[in-house]
Chains A and B, each alone.
Chain A
């Protein structure tokens, strides 16, 4: 175990070191000192994270659900239905008036929150990719090599696959968005990134690149490689 490996392991999980790191610490005083620092830091973190919690009451849910509620007179039921329809119409009108963040902006914003994703260059194994993507009901067929990052991310109300693919001109983000419909190919440029949204078998696929990377080529590759699991 090298010093850099030992320190990575210590910083990631100082309370749980393996035999190789332990052996290294016996022979390397600077790393042993680093290990002590990390354990001390964890103690301080635990203390700082332990914020005071207010008394929050448990919800007083219904104890017994009536199996057959008493019938209401017809007129009252009609009045209730009319009120519900009126409220629904009002809510609908208000909802239409609420500006929603564009899909392209949301994709770029999400990507910007995961800066590590683009920094990883080591390719993932097929099994690891399959295991992560299965959580979002998606799998990748053969024909999409170079995946260095795969995550099932919470995005606009559901978990979606977030991939980073290594290409000769740099890393590319691919997000599979089964619930986001687009009428046709949409090119966008946001916050220094370029990308395309393309319609897919379910919803759409977003591809985000930097520099001169060809987003359309990666989008075509992704469309061919992504399969949806029922």
Chain B
């Protein structure tokens, strides 16, 4: 392998699963997420020289993925799907469809508005700090904190109501 290819594989291969998960929570659709990841990796390969600091590969890839998702959305005008239908269709993505509790949380995350879901995924799944989320989303730190707070309040309400139903 030539050094460029080696560098690309070393940097991008370990992040493929995370990239897919991020794309999945953006798109809420596995096949769209796969398209986004393919496009992201292709663009990353073409513009590898633009990545000057190897330690920044994760935010670099996630930024490309976010842009690709927006581009795909704009191009295809993706059809809006009812969240309940989505939760049913995406059930295999849970990998644990018999786990009702986890399924509820999964569906509740899917039902969050985009502007709440994306910062939450960046924080919980990608380990971003609120400052990093603000930079990634082009928001102020205050706006990020507000969105994260509202996202968790909504999810907590779902979890609590589920617990009350079971009692």
A190 to B137 Cα, complex, angstroms? 26
Chain A residues near B (Cβ < 8 Å) = 8-9, 11-14, 16, 37-38, 41-42, 44-54, 56, 58-59, 61, 63-64, 101, 113-117, 120, 122, 124, 128, 132, 135-136, 149-154, 156-157, 159
Q: Please state if B2 and A63 are interface contacts (CB–CB under 8 Å).
A: yes
Contact count band on B: 35 or more
Contact B140 A49 (CB under 8 A): no
Question: Within B111-167, which residues are at the interface with A (CB < 8 Å)?
Answer: 113-115, 120-121, 123-125, 129-130, 137-140, 142-150, 152-153, 155-156, 159
Most buried by A among B115, B124, B149, B150: B124
B2 close to A13 (CB less than 8 A): no
Give the chain A neighbours of B5 by CB distance below 8 A: 61, 63
Contact flag A128-B106 (CB < 8 Å), given A58-B8, A58-B13, A114-B115: no
Given known contacts A49-B125, A61-B45, A113-B114, A153 and B138 CB-to-CB distance under 8 angstroms: yes
Structural contact, A154 and B94, CB atoms closer than 8 A: no
A37 to chain B: closest CB distance in Å? 6
Cβ distance B58 to chain A, nearest Cβ, rounded Å: 15
Contact residues, B56-102 vs A (CB, 8 A):
66-67, 70-71, 74, 77, 93-95, 101-102
In the complex, 12 of the A-B residue pairs with CB atoms within 8 angstroms, ordered by the A residue number, are A13-B130, A44-B159, A45-B105, A50-B21, A51-B94, A61-B45, A64-B2, A113-B114, A151-B140, A152-B138, A154-B66, A154-B67
Bound complex: CA A222 to CA B29 (Å) = 39
B149–A132 touching, CB < 8 Å? no
Do B113 and A113 touch (CB < 8 A)?
Answer: yes
Closest partner residue, chain A, to B66 (CB atom)? A154
Which residue from B140, B147, B149 sits with its C-beta under 8 Å from A124?
B140
Known: A51-B95, A59-B41, A116-B147. 19 other contacts (CB 8 A): A11-B149, A11-B156, A12-B146, A38-B156, A46-B124, A46-B125, A48-B109, A53-B16, A56-B41, A58-B8, A61-B5, A61-B8, A63-B2, A63-B5, A114-B115, A115-B115, A120-B142, A122-B142, A151-B143
CA distance A152 to B138 in the complex (A): 5
Shortest Cβ gap from B39 to chain A (Å): 10
Instruction: Return the chain A residue nearest B17 by Cβ.
Output: A53
Question: A56 contacts B106, CB within 8 Å?
Answer: no
B54 at the interface (CB under 8 A from A): no
Query: Is B150 within 8 A of A156, CB to CB?
Result: no
CA distance A52 to B115 in the complex (A): 23
